Amino acid sequence: MQNEDIGTHVGTVISVRGSVVDVKFAKNLPHIHDILYATDKKIVLEVMAQLSINKVRAIALTPTQGLARGMVVKASGSPLAAPIGKNILSRMFDVFGNPIDGGSMPEGVRWKNVHQAPPPLVDRSTSSEIFTTGIKIVDVLAPIERGGKAGLFGGAGVGKTVLLTEMIHNMIGHHKGVSIFCGIGERCREGEELYREMAQAGVLENMVMLFGQMNEPPGSRFRIGHCALTMAEYFRDEEHRDVLLLIDNIFRFIQAGSEVSGLMGQMPSRMGYQPTLGTELSALEERIANTKNGAITSIQAVYVPADDFTDPAAVHTFSHLSASLVLSRKRASEGLYPAVDPLQSNSKMTTASIVGERHFALAHQIKQVFAQYDELKDIIAMLGLEQLSIQDRDIVKRARRLERFFTQPFFTTAQFSSAEGKFVTLEQSLDGCERILKGEFNHYPEKSLYMIGAINEAKLDDKNIKNEKIAAEKQTSSSGVQ
């Protein structure tokens, strides 16, 4: 743990109410955010308010069992700090910077205050760049901004973790960057499973994992995000590397802040949230930025309470996001992985001035085709495909082939699916979509476009071509007779 040299300032516990501890100091009152230690460093407190000339109110970052009135508390004289340095890669830490992967503390690390200001405007990059993930449906329909923030929405079992691990793999392999995973309010089981999966996928070497687990006090869960950003800023500003920061779940950060606020006795705001919700979220989100040294690109899992998008937590989070990826359970059940919903997912980057006229027009056309196909599904279910007009049948053909083209084998699932992973460039993705929309692949069976990389991988033998052409001619002639 950091701050081995404990200061000489000593106080006395005067009240303990759950995670809230009031401490009296005879002199030298600690600063806001300073760390206090009790019972030989076993209990760690963070100063949240100065109540009077000699009294402070602190929130516990560890369980407070055994703490009682009259006990001695020592002030460290410094705030919470996180370990930084090259040797933290491939390791897993808690909020205090202690390794929780069973290994010893890495050598040669420095400690840095977790409370840092966002980069000033003069240091920020003014150009908007696309962060290419190598995943077709994301890059074409909901491109992520380099140095921006993307929200990932989805329930259990629809492929959130798989999508995140693939992005980590592609970040390390193609962008030569660093990935940091921050679990806020994660279950212990999820953290252990993710660590094991990352090791098996071979992406752990350029990755750091931090966890403020669900069973830990709210103060610990509230600060783990700041620790992760401090590490991310080190790699961006000192190592000049691009960083992919994955946060699961940003709602739990807000929830932890609400718990801390309630414990501190602050008056609740709208719907019971803390009055400082906007400030606390901005203090975290605004540190995620693109500067002249590098970029921190963040993908955040977002839980929407009761599917109410007007909830203050959701509203404040959306104001910071530049892209939204919505995972669909229906698409997952159909085997269309990644199960990103093309109509509900969107990005602020999809404008002609940023992605270019061609990409913008294609994205608009693809969404139009999917929307029309969505409207025709009910008619197909009731009357059958044969009852549609030629134009509508053509739309269905293209939409179904686009759906299958947007599926993709992942590197991180190769050991389970025995299919080799594919990284598809943006140009290859756009080329494939353009050719499908022109009808070039209407005579190809749908399965030939399923789970491939670039469009050139779609194969068709002579027998298939002949059969498809005969069927198409029959269809045209019968339509002409009608």
Which residues are tagged catalytic? 160, 186-187
Contact by Cβ (8 Å): 30, 36: yes
- Which is it for strands 149-153 and 10-17: parallel, antiparallel or unpaired? unpaired
DSSP helix/strand/coil, 117: coil
What CA–CA distance (Å, rounded) separates 168 from 162?
Answer: 10
112, 291, 320, 385 from 123: Cα distances, Å: 21, 6, 19, 57
CB atoms under 10 Å from CB of 102, counted, come to 6
- Cα gap 320→305, rounded to integer Å: 18
Conformation bin of residue 373: beta by default, left when phi > 0, alpha when psi is -120 to 50: alpha
| Distance from C-alpha of 58 to C-alpha of 36, rounded to nearest angstrom | 8
For residues 302 and 317, the answer to whether their CB atoms sit within 8 Å is: yes
Q: What is the dihedral of CA 358, 361, 363, 366, to 10 degrees?
A: -120
**What's the CA gap between 164 and 178, in Å, rounded?**
14
Residue labelled with tokens 């993307």: 150
**341, 326 Cβ separation under 8 angstroms:** yes
Kind of pairing, strands 144-145 and 178-186?
unpaired
- The DSSP symbol for 453 reads S
182 in Cβ contact with 331 (< 8 Å) = no
Q: How far apart are CA 367 and CA 402, in angstroms?
A: 10
For residue 341, the Cα-to-chain-centroid distance in whole angstroms is 17
Residue tagged 């085997």 (tokens) = 335
DSSP letter assigned to residue 291: B
Q: Pull the structure tokens for residue 217.
A: 């006090």
Q: Are 439 and 399 in contact (CB under 8 A)?
A: no
The conformation of residue 142, written as its DSSP 8-state character, comes to S
